[in-house]
Amino acid sequence: MKKIKIVTFLLILFFAFLGLYQLNPPAAASISAPLIEFSSGRAIKHLEVIAQKPHPIGSPEHTVVRDYILKELTAQGLSPEVQKTTVVNPRWGTPFVAGTVHNIVARLQGTNNTKAILVAAHYDSVPNSPGASDDGAAVVAMLETIRALRAGSHLRNDIIFLITDGEEPGLLGAKAFVDEHPWAKNIGLVLNFEARGNSGASVMFETSSENGWLIKEFAQAATHPVANSLTYSIYKLLPNDTDLTMFKQAGFPGFNFAYLNGVIHYHTFSDNLENIDERSLQHHGDYILALTRHFGNLDLKDIKKSDSVYFDILGLALIHYPSVWVAPLTVFVVLLFIGAVVLGFRRKQLTFSGIVLSFLAFLLNIVSASLIVTLTWWMIGSLHTEYRAFPQGDTYNSQFYMISFVALTIAITLGLYVWFRKKIRIQNLTVGALLWWLILMVLSSIYLPGASYLFTWPLLFSLVGLGFIFASNRDFAKVKGLVVLTACTIPGIILLAPTIYVVFVALTLEFSGVVMVLVVLLLGLLIPHLCLMAIPNKWLLPTVSMLVSLSFILLGSFTAGFDAHHPKPNSIFYGLNADTGKAIWASADKQTDEWTSQFLSQDTEQTKLAEYFPTVSRKFLKSQAHVVQLTTPMIEPLSDDMRDGTRTVRVRITSPRQARIMRIYVDSNTEVLAATLNGKKIDNNIGDHTASAKNWGFNYFALPKEGIELTLALKPSQPLKLKAVDQSDGLPEIRGKSFPARPNYMIPTGFDSGISDSILVSKSFTL
């Protein structure tokens, strides 16, 4: 029996690691790969050009990247076009996001087009990131895919390659294409590619509604599918957006892909060529090439079918079925649960009181593990205050803490069940845990059908194993019973182990306690195994698990510092108030460090910066700075008319110093009745109309040299007070002052609304 327990333990570990291993992206293909195949080795040559420097919308580097992409598309025999236009996206309310975008579009003609396939990615980066992964990898994957497609046979449908501009500030390019480009009228399918880290498998994390046909065809086309409807169900509840948001609003069916590992590098200077995992780029490219070839030969005129529930098995195949199956499957599993429990009572292996106690015991286990892990992470954060520098909620060494918290949860669970086992039989403990699975299955089937598979299938197989034990009236400790139970837990391990990892990566260490709920649920399927392994040395496994947890916490502590490969982010920017003639240094950080302290002197205070961000309530570190003579933003009145009880004011807004961003704020006491920007009407009818009208403003990205024209309709009795704040990249040179550059173990933060390492000049106007 001892050997059987060891084999069982090793099998559980094997399938857990197998599930995790299959989350790795496919191997990178060399530059010498066959020409009809996708090669990350060839694609990354483009990335060496595109990801040299940060290239936010409107920057000179952004123009260099655009010119390179156009040159490469032309070299591949296409005729790329640039869609230049002004766009306003009111999606998030005021201040609205607006800008001048330069979308790149190219079309690969099909032989008998039904509807076109749109392959999309964005080529702008955030201000302080080279954007190798976000979203350079997707752009170069498109370039390499075009080469591979042209090397193969012709497709039936047209393939449109859209490389959008202005995704980072607010999905501007995608909205411009949807609203204005004539090619948007005949889109049958969208493939959108993103990144929220620098490595890992490319996950198909979002689809459009009525995706049944799409999922069926995706399952046939993708060679290494990593996808499940759980991520789609959760993503729908979150406020996150990508370009696909705009495409879905326009009614385009589609898929969204992104790799997620290494979120600590997301939107930072370390999202560079040195840190990108080439295998993730390969996975992007494998998807694009396989899906364009597959869907490129299908009729895309009528493809909307009822939603599917779907999940991949070890990245080898995608299991899918219509969501209408969820209800009958749920009923079937509920009846199976009832049957197993009735059988357990008849065999006198279950008791009512034992099940009730076990149900409460499992709840105690969930709450204890979640709270203890949350408290542990809080204590670690208190000890290592340097972790507060990471607004992503993650760390460079998060893998150590992830292992530690899983081991800690195992230790807590094993310890509790050593105690529970004294008073409650294994059979009751097992049913009590499965009752929680049953409840979660029913709730998910009602409220999140796409997530129901995660509870339905592990529970179903576990009930089959439990039913076998009860039907044969066998003891859990017998060899045959243990073998059957182990076989029936494998589906749960294969489904949950990778899900736990992906959820942990997506939610980061900040929500470790939430993730541990899934760990406890997985352990709930293994209660018979855990209890039997505790015989005769009941405290051995809890002790070993606790030691593993402590060891990895220590590893985390030993690797908590910063170096050139793990740089510390910090924030500093310069502000000049032209109304008062005073200047400041300011930071979005919570405290100064050895580099920012040279700017932020002893008079540093934490305060709001209403002169630069009137609508922002957060506080910044601020201290006085030497005044640099900078040209101020300009608002030039063009006309001021009164008609039908409405005052209409037209102005031109420019930045003589050619700042990249212009922020305009209307005085909060002024109600804007209507507005147009460069002739584009701005719709105030979002959310609370009164609130948007009374706190009106916009942030304009890629401000043209000639400026922009704004027209406002107001009540006649109101004066028009405007505040203009223009923002340029880089820090000023101050005569007589020398500020050493950041040491190599520091980088500008990427999560301060793009203001780090910038100059802001504020000026008020009354018209």
Mean of pLDDT values over 36-55: 97
Helix (H) or strand (E) run with residue 220 in it: helix 212-221
What are φ and ψ of residue 416, in 5° steps? -65, -40
What pLDDT is stored for residue 689 in this prediction? Answer: 40
For residue 245 the two structure tokens come to: 């948001």
Residues 6+ apart with CB under 8 A from 58: 99, 100, 660, 661, 701, 702, 703
| Cα dist from 420 to 355, 439, 529, 531, 539, whole Å | 12, 22, 15, 10, 13
What pLDDT is stored for residue 477 in this prediction? Answer: 61
Q: CA nearest 92: which of 724, 699, 749, 609?
A: 699
- Multiple choice CATH, 27-313, 3.40.50.200, 3.30.565.10, 3.40.630.10, 3.20.20.70: 3.40.630.10
Helix (H) or strand (E) run with residue 309 in it: strand 308-313
For the stretch 663-672, pLDDT in tens is 999 998 888 9
For residue 710 the two structure tokens come to: 């704004």
Q: CA nearest 522: which of 4, 24, 19?
A: 19
For the stretch 338-362, pLDDT in tens is 999 999 999 999 999 999 999 999 9
- CA–CA separation, 698 vs 725, rounded Å? 11
Q: How far from the centroid of its chain's Cα atoms is residue 512's Cα?
A: 17
Long-range contacts of 214-218 (CB under 8 A, 24+ apart): 214/189, 214/253, 214/255, 214/303, 215/308, 215/310, 215/318, 215/320, 216/308, 216/320, 217/294, 217/295, 217/298, 218/255, 218/291, 218/318
Residue 690 has pLDDT above 80, yes or no: no
What pLDDT is stored for residue 599 in this prediction? Answer: 93
| Domain boundary assignment for the chain | 2-20+337-558, 27-313, 581-625, 634-766
**Residue 186 DSSP class:** G
Residue 685 confidence class, pLDDT cut points 50, 70, 90? low
For the stretch 79-125, pLDDT in tens is 999 999 999 999 888 899 999 999 999 999 999 999 999 999 999 99
Q: CA nearest 174: which of 129, 241, 272?
A: 241
- CA–CA separation, 85 vs 677, rounded Å? 12
Residue 648 has pLDDT above 90, yes or no: yes
For the stretch 302-322, pLDDT in tens is 899 999 999 999 999 999 999
- CA–CA separation, 169 vs 557, rounded Å? 36
Residue 195 confidence class, pLDDT cut points 50, 70, 90? very high
What pLDDT is stored for residue 305 in this prediction? Answer: 93
For the stretch 219-270, pLDDT in tens is 999 999 999 999 888 777 766 789 999 999 999 999 999 999 999 999 999 9
- Multiple choice CATH, 634-766, 2.10.220, 2.60.40, 3.40.50, 1.10.287: 2.60.40
What pLDDT is stored for residue 715 in this prediction? Answer: 87
Do domains 27-313 and 634-766 share one topology? The answer is no
Helix (H) or strand (E) run with residue 160 in it: strand 159-164
- CA–CA separation, 341 vs 532, rounded Å? 21
pTM of the shown model: 0.94
Residue 688 has pLDDT above 50, yes or no: no
What are φ and ψ of residue 318, in 5° steps? -110, 120
For the stretch 467-515, pLDDT in tens is 998 988 766 666 677 788 889 999 999 999 999 999 999 889 999 999 9
